[in-house]
Amino acid sequence: MMVVALALAVFGVLMILLAAVGLLRLPDVYMRCHAAGKAATLGVCCVMLGAAAGIGGGGSLVRALLTVVFLFVTIPVGAQLIARAALRNGARPHPKTRLEKTDEIS
């Protein structure tokens, strides 16, 4: 049990580090929203479940599940809202991006 919890926590922490590296290294704001919206969600949910399993007991599991459900819904929505705001403000994508339908989106 403790091994599973620790494996979840290690995987989640590495995913959060990956999201931060992507935030720093990716070339434009849309790719950064992509890194923040997916890797960070998976990472924080794994860390919460791992911590709840490590502490043990029903109360911690309920809190962790509440947080996981809420974060799975809200973090991608927030990242998408910020990317849409950047698009409507005319932030330029990376020059190698293949633009196809951005005019219809905005």
Partner 1 sequence: MMLDAYLPRILEVLLGIVMLAMALAAVRLLRGPTRADRAIAMDVLVIAAVAGVALMAWRVDAVALLDVAVAVAMVTFISAVALAWYLERRGKP
Distances (CA, A) of 68 to 25, 34, 48, 80, 97: 27, 19, 7, 19, 33
The H-assigned helical ranges of 26-57 are 29-55
Q: Does 3 bind partner 1 (CB under 8 A)?
A: yes
For residue 51, which of 42, 64, 41, 40 has the smallest C-alpha distance?
Answer: 64
3-state secondary structure (DSSP) of residue 1: coil
Of the residues 4, 38, 64, 103, which one makes contact with partner 1 according to CB under 8 A: 64
Contact positions with partner 1 (CB under 8 A) in 22-41: 23-24, 29, 32-33, 36, 40-41
Residue closer to partner 1 (CB basis): 2 or 105: 2
How far apart are alpha carbons 42 and 46 in whole angstroms? 6
Cβ–Cβ < 8 Å for 50, 9: yes
Is 1 near partner 1 (CB under 8 A)? no
The residue among 84 and 97 lying less far from partner 1, judged by its C-beta, is 84
77 binds partner 1 (CB under 8 A): yes
Residues that bind partner 1 (CB under 8 A): 2-3, 6, 9-10, 12-14, 16-17, 19-21, 23-24, 29, 32-33, 36, 40-41, 43-44, 47-48, 50-52, 54-55, 57, 59-60, 63-64, 66-67, 70-71, 74-75, 77-79, 81-86, 88-91
